[in-house]
Structure 1
Amino acid sequence: MPTRRSLLAGLATLPLLPRMGLSASAPHRLRLAPAPIQIAPAQYGKTDLWGVNGSVPGPALRARRGERLRVEIDNALPQATSMHWHGIRIENAMDGVPGLTQDPIATGEVFTYDFALPDAGTYWYHSHAQSVEQVERGLQGPLIIAEDEAPDVDQDLVLMLDDIRLAGDASVDAQFTHPHDRSHAGRLGNVMLTNGQMEASFPVTQGERLRLRLINSANARIFALGLQGLTGWIMAYDGMPLPTPEAIPERMLLAPAQRIDLIVDVSASAGEDAFLIQFERDGGYAQAIFPVSAGTSTTRGTPAPLPPNPDHPIELSDADTVTLRMEGGAMGGMQSAQWQGKAQGMRALAQAGQFWAFNGVVGRPDKPLVRASLGQTVKIAMVNDTSFPHAMHLHGMHFAEVLPDGSLGPLRDTLLMMRGETRTVAFNAHNPGKWLLHCHMLSHHAAGMGTWVEVVA
């Protein structure tokens, strides 16, 4: 099996993916189909991916806040599928969750998604059917919603950060239901990718101001990221602008499905390279390279905050609170859990590939975790009683963490819960429908970590 180092050792620079976008003025047709693509060095051959219009990741869908997006999904895959529009506060019927909001799109069928875009920011689309395999093989892409007034930058760059697990011939490792992945940290890849490339390069000039839209589209990897030769500010988390830009720390953790918008200035000198660095236990590696050419050394000030998105106030004084306890996994203390309507022991659950539970229930239950009235504030106390981190994602709405002093943190749609942590989030139930709440380590979701909330108009 090729390791990251063995692949990088033979790597020749690969061509960049085209920086394509699709206009919001007409319906878009996305064809999902097998797409052998050369992502490894040539001696390994092409990788058996599933592309969106022939590319991995798929084309960037671009629109403006307040518009509608209409997308026809043409399924030419050997499996049924669906498409989730991650982070969009969307009409429930368009959310793309088989068995909860729609039937899966069968092979040979076309399904049309048509929805409003209430918020500007960095979002993404990905399969929500058999996701461990389908997202790994490439059914993903950026969804960029422009502000009414864009920030003053010289380049606006999307960086989709991913990993993929390849076999010795550079084919995708087909063990998508391996018990170790399901019961431990999830399916981790052995090759790192940015925009589908092992070595992504973005030419810049000294002194340029860049907007970097970082999207973690990996199955399970938590990226620990840093910058070299770039200085700047965090502008938004998960598409939601910060009221005041934050200084970029030495390391940023980006969990699966999370996004961070940065505005950075190129501080490296001409002839040098700047880097987005991915840290591992044995050091830092270039996740993306920014070759620097001659420019200016003019210093710019702190950028103005991005325009805020529509507000749905979170009133903690009137909130109802529920608890979500995460249990199970390797080294967990769970002995049995409810699954498919009856109690099951861990041996039976493991034989069925189920290793995790929320509140003692494996998989999506018949009843919601909470049923809320429209406009009600809901608090969820999340308890990670497991030995592994979990990226908890709520569909249809954004939440804020309730901090120890009672204030609210920034709005997000995905929260990284480390082992042993207890953290509380709150959201305004402003969007009617049945909304999935699950771990976005996709093997964990497939192995039991999924529930839902219902907002009743």
Structure 2
Amino acid sequence: MTRRQFNMALGATAVTASALPAVGRAETPDALIAQPGLARLAPADYPETRIWGYGGTAPGPVIHVPQGGRLVRRFVNDLPQPATVHWHGIRLAKAMDGVEGLTQAPVEPGADFLYDLTAPDAGTYWYHPHRRSWEQLARGLSGVLIVDEAEGAPEVDRDEPLQISDWRLTQDAQIAEGFDDLHDRAHGGRIGNWITVNGTPDYRGTAHRNERLRLRVVNASSSRIMVLEASGFDGWVVALDGMPLEAVEPLGRIILAPAQRADLIVDVIADQGEDAYLAMLDRDGGYQIAAWSVDESARSERLPAPEALPANPVAALGPLDTARTADLRMEGGAMGSLSGAIMNGQMTSMRDMAAAGRVWAFNGMAQMSETPLIEVARGETVRLAIANDTSWPHAMHLHGHHFRQVLAEGTLGPLRDTLLMDRGATADIAFVADNPGDWLLHCHMLEHAAGGMMTWLRVT
């Protein structure tokens, strides 16, 4: 048995038979190969950019799987460093979650691993590395994962994923090095100077007036918070982080933290000869990132407003007043008050933390702790009180589950897998811990996670 055959066998047996159906011996799963490649990220008068990509492209292929169906991919690592794949937002078996050191060993260069999972929830998800993710994502490793509704899919003329990526490029259109930059870690993360949609800087399509589109918008950046507005469209937000809203909301300004997604159903209302477009807003104003040239009408009048998408099978919360609770306090970063935190079992000064690349802490711990933040039995309702005692926003992502924010007077926010928290903010999130395993909870500003913002919880 070769090393590659051994790794494939190990991956196939890591999930229990009760969690997933058995892999037939005659099946040959599709390969998902992480490898260097070239991408046309900048205009034609610049060189192509050297990237790392799934299949050598950036972004990687859009993967479709039916709701309740199996996703089987033989991940092959043809990169010069170890890697894994995390299937972001999918409520899957622990062994398939792709977190180095917590759910699996990293896949070494030249080796492979069999990912075999089911997709219980329809919606828009994505996949990316979870080993040196702050570097590997910034080099291009990501792709959109769509779980198609088993029934009740909305009536649309077209379904378009829009993966928005943030790149830091040099003057010759190459990816800038310096992935372990301490300034990035201590501030807002690695913010790029170049935006692409589906791998192109000038994403443009065509559309018909009164045509109805489903736009699946994914913030696939390392750290950039994206503020988006649409023009020439009228429509609705129907899902966030893959989970349908209980009632559709009118389309307005959209704020997406890194890793967050929004499903939009929009009607083209721009006149023939005009553009409908999506714009990104920042401190210097707004700029167009995707456009559709509008031609003749698809129909004489608009379709009726859509109904809410079918709910996904997420367990309803139990009583919050008897939920298991834990507190999580974020500390550190530039302009913060953290003077030191625990590293390697002892209190360490901020100076020595910074020398080791750690500038953030959860509950006074600047690295993954040996014990979980909380350990609960399967089926218990959990309530986490999170406080952002820093000068920077953070995007808190929980693996293996979706949660709701507990709002004023006990009302509940929509199901999410990532929560954007502004500096100085507090938030309570609640979820049913119905997925056994060890699950990561971290900031999805990936430089912040690398700098100490990671913890985990255990569901027995």
Shorter chain as denominator, the TM-score bin is over 0.9
Secondary structure of the structure 2 residue equivalent to 1:35: strand
Secondary structure of the structure 1 residue equivalent to 2:408: coil
- Please tell me the residue identity of whatever aligns with 2:258: P
Alignment partner for residue 108 of structure 2, among 106, 109, 113?
A: 106
Alignment partner for residue 312 of structure 2, among 309, 312, 327?
A: 309
- Please tell me the residue identity of whatever aligns with 1:155: R
1:395 paired to 2:399 = yes
- Please tell me the residue identity of whatever aligns with 2:436: P
Q: Give runs of ≥4 in structure 1 deviating > 4 Å.
A: none
Taking the aligned partners of 1:70 and 1:299, their CA distance within structure 2 comes to 40
Alignment partner for residue 425 of structure 2, among 421, 430, 439?
A: 421
Judge conservation of contact 2:40–2:199 (CA < 8 Å) in 1.
no
Taking the aligned partners of 1:388 and 1:286, their CA distance within structure 2 comes to 27
- Please tell me the residue identity of whatever aligns with 1:258: Q
Alignment partner for residue 328 of structure 1, among 326, 329, 332?
A: 332
1:440 paired to 2:444 = yes
Q: How does 1:41-440 map to 2 (within 5 A)?
A: 41-149=43-151, 150-249=153-252, 251-295=253-297, 296-315=299-318, 316-440=320-444
Taking the aligned partners of 1:275 and 1:372, their CA distance within structure 2 comes to 46
- Please tell me the residue identity of whatever aligns with 2:154: P
Taking the aligned partners of 2:38 and 2:306, their CA distance within structure 1 comes to 42
1:30 paired to 2:32 = yes
Taking the aligned partners of 1:408 and 1:216, their CA distance within structure 2 comes to 24
- Please tell me the residue identity of whatever aligns with 1:248: L
* Distance apart, 1:40 and its partner CA: 1.1
Secondary structure of the structure 2 residue equivalent to 1:387: coil
Match in the other structure for 1:450: 454
Question: Can you give the 5+ residue segments of structure 1 that lack an aligned partner in the other structure?
Answer: 1-24
Taking the aligned partners of 2:112 and 2:417, their CA distance within structure 1 comes to 28
Secondary structure of the structure 1 residue equivalent to 2:205: coil
Taking the aligned partners of 1:242 and 1:205, their CA distance within structure 2 comes to 27
* Distance apart, 1:317 and its partner CA: 3.1
Task: Give CA deviations for 1:415-442 in whole Å, capped at 9, x if unaligned.
Answer: 0000000010001000000000000000
* Distance apart, 1:297 and its partner CA: 4.8
Secondary structure of the structure 2 residue equivalent to 1:299: coil
Judge conservation of contact 1:438–1:445 (CA < 8 Å) in 2.
yes
Taking the aligned partners of 1:335 and 1:307, their CA distance within structure 2 comes to 49
Secondary structure of the structure 2 residue equivalent to 1:347: helix
**Across the two proteins, how many residue pairs are aligned to each other?**
431
Taking the aligned partners of 1:236 and 1:134, their CA distance within structure 2 comes to 28
The farther-off stretch of 168-177 and 92-101 is 168-177
Judge conservation of contact 2:398–2:417 (CA < 8 Å) in 1.
yes
Judge conservation of contact 2:328–2:384 (CA < 8 Å) in 1.
yes
Judge conservation of contact 1:267–1:297 (CA < 8 Å) in 2.
no
Taking the aligned partners of 2:195 and 2:293, their CA distance within structure 1 comes to 19
Taking the aligned partners of 2:56 and 2:300, their CA distance within structure 1 comes to 41
Question: Can you give the 5+ residue segments of structure 2 that lack an aligned partner in the other structure?
Answer: 1-26
**TM-score between both structures, scaled by the size of structure 1:** 0.93
* Distance apart, 1:363 and its partner CA: 1.7
- Please tell me the residue identity of whatever aligns with 2:113: F
- Please tell me the residue identity of whatever aligns with 1:303: P
Judge conservation of contact 1:393–1:414 (CA < 8 Å) in 2.
yes
Taking the aligned partners of 1:300 and 1:286, their CA distance within structure 2 comes to 27
**TM-score between both structures, scaled by the size of structure 2:** 0.92
- Please tell me the residue identity of whatever aligns with 1:333: S
Task: Give CA deviations for 1:350-408 in whole Å, capped at 9, x if unaligned.
Answer: 11111000000012111100101100011111100000000000000000000111021
- Please tell me the residue identity of whatever aligns with 1:34: P
Taking the aligned partners of 1:42 and 1:293, their CA distance within structure 2 comes to 27
* Distance apart, 1:38 and its partner CA: 2.1
Match in the other structure for 1:3: none
Task: Give CA deviations for 1:159-211 in whole Å, capped at 9, x if unaligned.
Answer: 00111001111111011011110000000000011111111112111000000
Secondary structure of the structure 2 residue equivalent to 1:173: coil
Taking the aligned partners of 1:371 and 1:211, their CA distance within structure 2 comes to 40
Taking the aligned partners of 1:428 and 1:132, their CA distance within structure 2 comes to 29
Secondary structure of the structure 1 residue equivalent to 2:175: coil
